[in-house]
Amino acid sequence: MYTKHKEETFVLNLGPQHPATHGVLRIKLTMDGEYIVNAEPVLGYIHRMHEKMAENRTYAQYLPNLSRLDYLGAISFSLAHCLIVEKACGIEVPERATVIRVIMAELNRITSHLLWFGALIVDLGGFTPMLYIFDDREKIIDMMDSITGSRLTFCYLRFGGVSCDIDDTFIAGVRDIVPYMRTRLKMYHALVSRNAILQERLVGIGNITPEMCRSYGASGAVARASGVKHDVRQAEPYSGYERYDFDIPMSTDGDSMARFSVKMEEMEQSLRIIEQAVKNVPAGAYRNGKVPRTLTPAVGDFYQAVETPRGAFGIRMVSDGSNTPYRMKLRSPCLSNLSLLPEVVEGMLLADMLAFMGSLDLVIPEIDR
Amino acid sequence: MQLPFSIETFIRFALYVVGFLAFAIFNAVILGWGERKIMARIQRRIGPKEVGPFGLLQIPADVIKLLAKQFRTPKGGDTMLFLAAPALAIIPALMSFVAIPFAPGLLARDINIGLLMVYAFTTVVILGLLVGGLGSRNKYAIISAARAVSQNVAYEIPMLISVVTVVLITRTMNLTTIVDQQAGAFWHWNMFRFSASPLLPVLFIVYIICMLAETNRTPFDIAEAESELIAGAFTEYSGMGSGLFFLAEYANIVVGCSLAVILFLGGWHDPFGFFPGVWWFAAKLYFLVFFVIWVRWTFPRTQFYSLLNLSWKTLIPLTLGNLLLTGFWIKVFGP
């Protein structure tokens, strides 16, 4: 497609303030006309030293930090932290709490995917779906708000459980939202997915091979759309995910359209999980009452991965036996997914690159940490 | 002393100038408000409602805000070009109104080659974008200017060929005469004039597509693609500088839709031949404008190459073929 026809190139700074980068990401593009010769993501504009902060905070103090990493999938991120601390300290989690965690994480995944869907279409120049998805997102967030008390950066999970119990209104609300969301997803497919212009903008654009996914460590929908069948929820089940019956949406096309369909299908699967989870929420405590105030895990090296809306998020925690970790390494999915970008966009048109970036579903605070 | 024109002619002309300027600006205000209201309805929102009844004074309030803002010229840019661009965009757009007949007698100048004049002016509009982009010293603006020019070259051709086909049928470029020929119910309109060419409805659709591309509206708004090029050529414009571009955009939409009404939809004639008049012109015009807004808030943006492909590989062969067919059809079945 692209052949370099002249030596004259120029540098185009995409960001840090650009409407399509969804945050303060800067991409230094070397352009030949409208073709991209080279792309170099420049990170660090909202680097907040989250990993270093962990080293001088107690485990409980560090809990709110996790929801500031990925502000769209906060529950999954704090779930990883809770799970690793529970693993290190040997804290039991009541059955009811694990189910509540799954419901919340999946609701959060749907809100995150909805926002990605709206933002991708905005990147492609269609503004209206953005306001439709906010309508649905608002419904889900209102429900989560009634239990957790927050709407975006949830700090709802606690070591050994969750901070508040769910009530019958919430369960009834979740039961209602599942069929509602199914009709809405059907509408989105009719309204957007079959649109000829959308097909033309996404099909065959930004091809990622499975080899590239493996070598860059891409995960989540990006990897699954390229034919790498990996979902932490089934590969290394946590929080009782092995009990739920759900499929991993897959595609082998590897283009932006494949990522689009995989993500849309993931929402359906999340609805399936939620449906099964609310069917019988076990009675009992929502929180382990015997968790000590000061946590001092055993000396050791721990790892815990979870499937966040954007891919596999892992925490490696090295404990020296004190009340703060010796080292906390966060492996965030978007950083790996973004590292694919320079290789993929070479020779691409500017507009296609932005569509491709939209399909990657990047959340910048999580890349910079 | 003998004046070259009578005093009545002068007063009449002055009134028309004032009248059409007022009409164009009032239209932009109403369309700005209408677009935001329609967009809000499409997006299940309310839209402007605080300023004035139904938010009608929202656009005047915006204009006052824009006027109060500083107009800043970018350092290192070409100030001359930068300042000339908004004028280059707005003046041709307003000039096109001169030849458009809204009703019998309701036009500024009944020019024999009115159609040619309108197209001569609408072609100049793109110069505003080009010059504004070049004068801004902004890479995004320059990309936008380059896009806008190649897009307009690509779409002017099928648009003009489709207009030429209509001229072939009507045998005149006088817009009033073109409308007069379509007097009567809707089957007399050019769009349904199958005696002249069987493909006229297709031609109308081609014209509407080209008009969307000409006026840089979604799905062809690649020149000011806001998620790619921020605001394209208008990125560096502040205050009323960008306000004038928006005014020009709305004026262009009205001109484009007016021509569609005149060329294809029978101007001021009503569909059943009862009460012809300016209200029918307005109804058809604003329906088309509504269509343009509707399309904008429904579709995503196309990619640049597919836009050029559509023009060069589909629309131009189609319109050229249609031109030949129409010529043949008129020769065989015509009077």
User: Per the CB < 8 Å rule, is A132 touching B44?
Assistant: yes
Is A254 a residue whose pLDDT tops 80?
A: yes
What pLDDT shows up at residue A2? 55
Residue B9 lies in a domain: no
Say how many CB pairs under 8 Å bridge A and B: 73
- Hey, are the CB atoms on B301 and A128 less than 8 Å from each other? no
Residue B3, domain member (yes or no): no
| B112 touching chain A per CB within 8 A | no
The pLDDT value recorded for residue B230 is 77
Least confident stretch, A6-10, A316-320, B325-329? A6-10
Q: Which of B225, B228, B302 sits opposite A197 (nearest CB)?
A: B302
Answer whether residue B59 is part of any domain: no
Supply the DSSP symbol for A282. Answer: P
pLDDT at A238 (0 to 100): 87
pLDDT of amino acid A3: 59
CA distance A1 to A102: 46
Q: Is A302 helix (H, G, I), strand (E, B) or coil?
A: strand
Distance from CA of B293 to the nearest CA of A (A): 12
Q: Is residue B245 part of a domain?
A: yes
Residue A111 — pLDDT band, cuts 50, 70, 90?
very high
User: Out of B42, B147, B228, whose CB is closest to A354?
Assistant: B228
Inform me whether the pLDDT recorded for B36 exceeds 80: yes
Q: Do B303 and A200 touch (CB under 8 A)?
A: yes
DSSP assignment of B61-112 equals: HHHHHHHHSPP-PPTTS-HHHHHHHHHHHHHHHHHGGGG--SSTT--S---T
Question: Is residue A1's pLDDT more than 60?
Answer: no
Confidence (pLDDT) at B27: 83
pLDDT category of residue A110 using cuts at 50, 70 and 90? very high
A12 contacts on B by Cβ (under 8 Å)? 139-140
* CB within 8 Å: B228 and A12: no
Residues of A contacting chain B (CB within 8 angstroms) = 10, 12, 18-20, 34, 121-128, 131-132, 135, 195, 197-198, 200-201, 349-352, 354
Asked if A89 contacts A159 with a C-beta cutoff of 8 angstroms, the reply is yes
Which one of A122, A123, A197 has the shortest CB-CB distance to B219?
A197
pLDDT of amino acid B198:
76
Give domain status of residue B144, yes or no.
Answer: yes
Structural domains in chain B (count): 1
* Closest CB from A122, A131, A349 relative to B227: A122
Residue A173 tokens read as 């609300």
A135 contacts B44? CB cut-off 8 A = yes
Query: Looking at residues A272-300, what average pLDDT do you find?
Result: 86
A126/B298 CB distance under 8 A: yes
CB-based contact (8 Å) between B173 and chain A? Answer: no
**Structural domain for B257, as ranges:** 69-333
Section A288-314 average pLDDT: 87
pLDDT for B81: 86
For residue A160, the one-letter residue type is G
pLDDT at B46: 87
Query: How long, in residues, is chain A?
Result: 369
Nearby residues of B320 by Cβ (< 8 Å), 6 or more positions away = B161
Domain-located, residue B287: yes
Tell me which chain B residues have a C-beta less than 8 angstroms from the C-beta of A126.
218, 298-301
Predicted pLDDT of residue A4: 58
**Domains of chain A, with CATH numbers?**
48-336+348-368 (1.10.645.10)
Specify the long-range contacts of residues B175-178, CB closer than 8 Å, at least 24 apart. B175/B99, B175/B100, B175/B101, B175/B107, B175/B114, B175/B115, B175/B118, B175/B262, B176/B101, B176/B104, B176/B107, B176/B110, B176/B114, B178/B115, B178/B262, B178/B263, B178/B267
Mean pLDDT calculated for residue range B48-72: 85
Q: How confident is the model at residue B7 (pLDDT cuts 50, 70, 90)?
A: confident
> How many Å lie between the alpha carbon of A34 and the closest alpha carbon of chain B?
7
Does residue A231 register a pLDDT over 60?
yes
Poorest-pLDDT segment among B97-111, B130-144, B237-251: B97-111
pTM of the model: 0.87
- Mean local confidence (pLDDT), A97-102: 91
pLDDT at position B11 over 90: no
Mean pLDDT of A126-133: 88
Which has the closest alpha carbon to B28: B76, B55, B4, B63? B63
Q: Is residue B56 part of a domain?
A: no
Indicate the average pLDDT of chain B. Answer: 83
Q: What is the reported pLDDT for A262?
A: 92
CB atoms within 10 A of CB B291: 14
Distance CA B143, CA B133 (A): 8
In a domain, B8, yes or no: no
Query: Which pLDDT score, from 0 to 100, does residue A113 have?
Result: 92
Is it the case that residue B134 has pLDDT exceeding 90?
no
- Give the pLDDT mean for A240-252: 88
Instruction: Give the residue ranges of DSSP H helices in chain A.
Output: 50-55, 59-67, 74-89, 95-123, 128-148, 168-188, 196-202, 210-216, 220-225, 232-235, 256-279, 333-339, 341-345, 350-360, 364-368
pLDDT digits (tens, 9 = 90+) for B173-221: 888 888 878 777 777 777 777 777 777 888 888 888 888 888 877 788 8
Sheet of A10-14, strand order: A10-14, A26-32, A35-42
Residue A14 φ then ψ, to 5°: -95, 100
Average pLDDT, chain A: 87
Please tell me what DSSP assigns to residue A312. Answer: E
- pLDDT-derived band at B2 (thresholds 50, 70, 90) equals low
Per-residue pLDDT, A283: 85
Query: Does residue B334 or residue A206 have the better pLDDT?
Result: A206
Question: Among partner residues B42, B44, B304, which is closest to A351 by beta-carbon distance?
Answer: B304
Judged by a CB distance cut-off of 8 A, whether residue B221 touches chain A is yes
8 Å CB contact of A34 and B45: no
Residue B1 has pLDDT above 60, yes or no: no
- Band of the pLDDT at A109, cuts 50, 70, 90? very high
